[in-house]
Amino acid sequence: MTNQTLSTWDARADELQIDGRAFIGGSRRDAASGAKRETSSPIDGRPLAVLSACGVEDVDAAVSLARRAFTPWSRTSAESRKGVLLAWAALMETHAEELALLECLDSGKPILQTTTVDVPGTISTLRWYAEAIDKISGEMPAVPSGATAMVTREALGVVAAIVPWNFPLEIAMWKIAPALASGNTMVLKPAEQTSLSILRAAELAAEAGMPEGVLNIITGSGREVGAALAHHMDVDALAFTGSTAVSRTLLEASGQSNLKRLSLEAGGKSSNLVFADTSDLALAAEKAAFGAFYNQGQVCSSNSRILVQRSVHDEFLGLLREAAAAYAPADPLAGLEGNGSLISVGHTNDVEEWIHRGRTEGSVLFGGERLDIRGSDAYLEPTVLGGLAAGHDVHREEIFGPVAVLQPFDTEEEAVAMANDTDYGLAASLWTSDLSRAHRVASELVAGTVSVNTVDALGNSTPFGGFKQSGFGRDLSLQAFDNYTASKTTWIQFG
Ligand code: NAD
């Protein structure tokens, strides 16, 4: 990217006027209490916007407007809903650079990633569900003669979504697109750190013709706004991505309120198994670096545990070190390859603590330094730890930063046992040129997605979600409609 482009993104960032007010009932609103909260960018600490600090009163108002909008929206033909969603996608495309800049400034991701992955990926998911919804039919099961039965999928009503800060637009759209396409209305709470891109996107939805109240974005804290949504008696379903700890509170809230349906994507500790018989060790190392360090390692399915067969361990480590250079932090606005900042200085401190433990209880194989860029120290080198005892926390807990741990193994059985020795079950990868081994190991790994000879495979058409404490319910694919619809049997007895 040229100096011209660099100065352009910087200048555009300086000129941005960002509206941080909530989006309720089709327009921007302050919190009913008038409370506000300033938000700043992790890339350099610059102030970004003043957010509405919403509370319970605002949640009630948003849910009631979403309820009012539900009947007309759910009765609109699937083709008409598709039309509105496609018009929204087109407007997001027109405003793609603005959305990408907001996403970069708010989350610390590099502009090269937000312009080429986050925003195009979000639009692609929206289009995929818009296109899917008028092609789905019900069933007519066989029943005894003298009757006929139809099984249809019905929208649930008002859906709440609570989403995290690591992919603010994309994960929001994983919930919004299938929920709205299938006729529900929604109240979505973004993470406190990253509300700006989805607020602007919701404004574009209104411009594209989405009726008032169908999509509401309510800014505020998890403890107040998130909990109020989880306990609300008029919310029919709740879709969540975030930590396992918060997932537990949501299950309790559902039980204590109206048994609202939950879908939970609660993170993971995913393993990448590299067998000595893999045909291209350099490719395995390149993809392993992507799997561990992409998005500053802040990925729920991050392959942060790399298990390598002992005979190729040292060669692999050298290749991984070379490949990790592509994820060295750089100025996020410079349009360069490389990582951006982590989500905050506080989170960087937490991740650095894991590096400290790795250094004192094992060793740092490479990386480990914290960098100062644009006057902020929320930047970390891609780091690999080693020499840590089996069962160490580093092997089992989610670090959520650019820190992977490398562990040698001898046999296939040992590798599978190590990979499955975690409370999570979101994803796993494996590298081998032996077809039988690929099938055998894939079937033995307890994970929602197993990638063979690649890492972290993901697409609109394939379900994404976990086993064990990674949660339940699936984002993406036609299966996501199961989170937002219930089947209804209509049995007609002939007279
Ligand atoms: P979190 O689970 O605390 O927050 C995720 C969302 O839940 C946010 O919108 C937050 O406001 C909301 N929330 C928080 N407390 C709530 C409550 N009591 N009731 C309802 N909603 C509530 O995650 P975090 O603080 O952003 O990160 C903590 C850890 O969670 C990370 O270090 C990482 O391990 C994990 N995480 C996982 C994912 C993922 O994609 N699975 C994403 C982000 C974080």
pLDDT of residue 391: 87
Answer yes or no: is the C-beta of 246 below 6 A from any ligand 1 atom: yes
Going by CA atoms, what residue is nearest to atom 40 of ligand 1? 300
Ligand 1 centroid–CA 101 distance in Å is 23
pLDDT of residue 1: 44
Listed residue (245, 244, 188) closest to 220, CA to CA? 188
Answer yes or no: is the C-beta of 189 below 6 A from any ligand 1 atom: yes
Ligand 1 centroid–CA 164 distance in Å is 6
pLDDT of residue 495: 87
Going by CA atoms, what residue is nearest to atom 11 of ligand 1? 222
Answer yes or no: is the C-beta of 300 below 6 A from any ligand 1 atom: yes
3-state secondary structure the chain: CCHHHHHHHHHHHHHCCCCECEEECCEEECCCCCCEEEEECCCCCCEEEEEECCCHHHHHHHHHHHHHHHHHHHHCCHHHHHHHHHHHHHHHHHCHHHHHHHHHHHHCCCHHHHHHHHHHHHHHHHHHHHHHHHHCCCECCCCCCCEEEEEEEEECCEEEEECCCCCHHHHHHHHHHHHHHCCCEEEEECCCCCCHHHHHHHHHHHHCCCCCCCEEECCCCHHHHHHHHHHCCCCCEEEEECCHHHHHHHHHHHHHCCCCEEEEECCCCCEEEECCCCCCHHHHHHHHHHHHHHHHHCCCCCCCEEEEEHHHHHHHHHHHHHHHHHHCECCHHHCCCCECCCCCHHHHHHHHHHHHHHHHHCEEEECCCEEEECCEEEEECCEEEECCCCCCHHHHCCCCCCEEEEEEECCHHHHHHHHHCCCEECEEEEECCCHHHHHHHHHHCCCCEEEECCCCCCCCCCCECCEECCEECCECCHHHHHHHEEEEEEEEECC
CA–CA dist 248, 266 (Å, integer): 10
Listed residue (424, 423, 418) closest to 405, CA to CA? 418
67 backbone dihedrals φ, ψ, rounded to 5°: -65, -45
Ligand 1 centroid–CA 243 distance in Å is 5
Going by CA atoms, what residue is nearest to atom 10 of ligand 1? 222
Going by CA atoms, what residue is nearest to atom 22 of ligand 1? 222
The two three-digit tokens of residue 118, written as one number: 């986050």
Ligand 1 centroid–CA 195 distance in Å is 14
CB atoms within 10 A of CB 412: 18
197 backbone dihedrals φ, ψ, rounded to 5°: -70, -40
Listed residue (305, 275, 280, 269) closest to 469, CA to CA? 269
Ligand 1 centroid–CA 266 distance in Å is 9
- Report the sign of the C-alpha dihedral through residues 204, 208, 211, 214, in that order: negative
Ligand 1 atom closest to the Cα of residue 347 is: 32
Listed residue (298, 341, 348) closest to 106, CA to CA? 341
The two three-digit tokens of residue 191, written as one number: 């993470």
pLDDT of residue 267: 85
Answer yes or no: is the C-beta of 287 below 6 A from any ligand 1 atom: no
Answer yes or no: is the C-beta of 295 below 6 A from any ligand 1 atom: no
Going by CA atoms, what residue is nearest to atom 30 of ligand 1? 243
Ligand 1 centroid–CA 349 distance in Å is 17
Ligand 1 atom closest to the Cα of residue 343 is: 26
Ligand 1 centroid–CA 268 distance in Å is 13
152-171 exposure pattern, b = at least 16 Cβ within 10 A, e = fewer:
ebebbbbbbbbbbbbbbbbb
Indicate the residue type of 357: R
Q: Which residues contact 413 (CB under 8 A, 6 or more apart)?
A: none
The two three-digit tokens of residue 309, written as one number: 């067969």
CA–CA dist 378, 339 (Å, integer): 11
pLDDT of residue 6: 54
Answer yes or no: is the C-beta of 415 below 6 A from any ligand 1 atom: no
Ligand 1 centroid–CA 131 distance in Å is 31
For a mutational test of ligand 1's pocket, the pick from 170, 246, 254, 393, i.e. the residue with the most ligand atoms closer than 8 A to its C-beta, is: 246
The two three-digit tokens of residue 41, written as one number: 């960018």
Sort 113 into a burial class: Cβ within 10 Å, 0-12 / 13-18 / 19+. Answer: buried
Beta carbons of 333 and 385 less than 8 angstroms apart: no
Ligand 1 atom closest to the Cα of residue 230 is: 20
Going by CA atoms, what residue is nearest to atom 26 of ligand 1? 164
List Cα–Cα distances, 269 to 266, 308, 375, in angstroms.
Answer: 11, 16, 32
Listed residue (218, 217, 191, 189) closest to 205, CA to CA? 217
List Cα–Cα distances, 299 to 12, 83, 316, 338, 379, in angstroms.
Answer: 28, 32, 23, 16, 16
Q: Catalytic positions, please?
A: 265, 300
Ligand 1 atom closest to the Cα of residue 268 is: 41
Q: Residues in the chain with pLDDT < 70? A: 1-7
Radius of gyration of the chain, Cα coordinates, nearest whole angstrom: 23
Answer yes or no: is the C-beta of 213 below 6 A from any ligand 1 atom: no
Indicate the residue type of 470: S
**Taking the mean position of all CA atoms in its chain, how far away is CA 461?**
16
List Cα–Cα distances, 108 to 28, 43, 156, 190, in angstroms.
Answer: 25, 5, 36, 16
For a mutational test of ligand 1's pocket, the pick from 243, 393, 422, i.e. the residue with the most ligand atoms closer than 8 A to its C-beta, is: 243
Beta carbons of 301 and 270 less than 8 angstroms apart: yes
